[in-house]
Amino acid sequence: MNLMSKIKNLFLIVLIYFSFQTTVSAQNTDKQCFKTGADRPELYLPLLKNKTIAVVTNQTGLLNDKTFLVDFLVKNTIKIKTIFAPEHGFRGDADAGEHVKNGVDSKTGIPIVSLYGSNKKPTPGQLKGIDLVVFDIQDVGVRFYTYISTLTYVMEAGAENNVEIMVLDRPNPHDGYIDGPALKDQWKSFVGMHNIPVVYGLTIGEYGKMINGEKWLKNGIQAKYTLIPMMNYHKKQRYKISDKPSPNLPNDKSINLYPSLCFFEGTQVSVGRGTDLPFQIYGSPWTKNLPYKFTPKPNYGAKDPFLNGKLCYGENLSKHPEELRKLNLDWLLNAYKNYKNPQQDFFLKNLFFDKLAGTDELRKQIIAGKTEVEIRQSWQKDLDAFEKIRTKYVVYED
């Protein structure tokens, strides 16, 4: 074989090798390509054609190119009669618990109906003439975060009025694990409607399947329910979310710490509302032994924050290095141990703490001086029982 033939053969081998590598690389990229339910219009647009729909969404209802789902549907000639907005409003800028008024979306002219305050559940009149409700909201994956309660009421109204419910699924930033006390019937409320632990390890679409499958809607009714699943989603991976789910969960760090720090909302301790680090710090005027100082003041996310204008002593967890895959009780127990105020109990008089915990047992355990290990052991039986229910509704790989 002459030199030219050898060079040609070598060139061919190199060409075939790189072609193969490019194909493998393309296949791997395709396998890793993640999409939310909203970014899979080929699955849901055909189901919406020639139907009159309502959309339950907020500022997180975005496609990958940052287009609002509502704008995308209008562009694709889908007839939207109503936008239903959850807690914090359609644009997501209302304080927690703030009354959100009904209105009109200035861009599309579509009426906006608030599903918060006295009208948490769509009325028969509000669903009149609607064939299907599309639900697309970035959830946080924690029982006391109210978007799953809104989904529950929307499904219940849909079942009662023969209106189909479609959920466009999104990642759960606390997926892949379960933790915390399970809610008992006596403490059911809008911040806890079902007998589940604080962290329940399901996407919002899987959660809707569980509500339906377990017949948790009023009188055991079931909704006509369609889930538009994500593509290449894995429960133990963490994904960039479309936008902050509410004003006081501005970034991944606050979302990561939220299940552990939200218990402070039932105490005389601030979680940093009215600062630049909401749900990344905690403190109180009566925990002076703790090293970090801050003073809550009115801001975009809190017009009248708890402990407004008072110097608080606590901890700054904004540099906390680990991705939490369990509740951290150390901060709560530490604050209780360091709380010195003879005039006011550590826990708020309205016992909102018990609603957040879903039971009065955690409060009593803290008062009794139980350790984190002892408290965790008391959760285990309920966690094991819930895991058997949860497993039935898992759509994605754990």
Beta-strand (E) ranges in 290-361? 292-294, 312-316
Q: Is 251 exposed, middle or buried (0-12, 13-18, 19+ CB in 10 A)?
A: middle
Dist CA 298 CA 350 (whole Å):
24
pLDDT exceeds cutoff 70 at 28: no
Dist CA 58 CA 87 (whole Å):
9
The residue with greater pLDDT, 32 or 17, is 32
| Each residue's pLDDT tens digit, 254-305 | 999 999 999 999 999 999 999 999 999 999 999 999 999 999 999 988 999 9
> How sure is the predictor about 8, in pLDDT bands with cuts at 50, 70 and 90?
low
Return the pLDDT at 253: 95
Beta-strand (E) ranges in the chain? 52-57, 79-85, 103-104, 111-114, 132-136, 164-168, 179-182, 197-199, 225-228, 281-284, 292-294, 312-316
pLDDT exceeds cutoff 50 at 26: no
> In the CATH scheme, what is the code of domain 37-241?
3.40.50.12170
State the pairing for strand pair 79-85/52-57. parallel
Residue 299 contacts residue 248 (beta carbons within 8 Å)? no
Dist CA 294 CA 222 (whole Å):
48
Q: Residue 34's CB: how many other CB atoms inside 10 A?
A: 15
Q: Which ranges in the chain are annotated with CATH 3.40.50.12170?
A: 37-241
CA distances, 123 to each of 71, 174, 350 (Å): 25, 32, 30
Contacts 24+ apart (CB under 8 A), 30-35: 31/232, 32/232, 33/231, 33/232, 34/230, 34/231, 34/232, 34/233, 34/239, 35/64, 35/230, 35/231, 35/232
Residue 154 phi/psi, 5° resolution? -65, -45
The closest alpha carbon to 44, from 209, 191, 231, belongs to 231
Q: How many CA atoms lie within 13 A of 55 on its CB side?
A: 29
Dist CA 136 CA 57 (whole Å):
5
Q: What is the mean pLDDT of residues 144-166?
A: 97
DSSP bridge pairs for 292: 314
Dist CA 243 CA 75 (whole Å):
22
Residues present in the chain in total: 398
Which DSSP letter does residue 183 get?
P
Dist CA 112 CA 68 (whole Å):
15
Q: Which two tokens stand for residue 309?
A: 């204008």
State the pairing for strand pair 197-199/179-182. antiparallel
Dist CA 48 CA 310 (whole Å):
52
Return the pLDDT at 310: 98
Biggest CA–CA distance in the chain, Å, is 99
| Each residue's pLDDT tens digit, 37-67 | 999 999 999 999 999 999 999 999 999 999 9
Residue 197 phi/psi, 5° resolution? -75, 170
Return the pLDDT at 60: 94
Residue 315 contacts residue 282 (beta carbons within 8 Å)? yes
pLDDT exceeds cutoff 60 at 16: no
Contacts of 68 (CB under 8 A, 6+ apart): 57, 61, 62
| Each residue's pLDDT tens digit, 217-265 | 999 999 999 999 999 999 999 999 999 999 899 999 999 999 999 999 9
One-letter amino acid for residue 299 of the chain: N
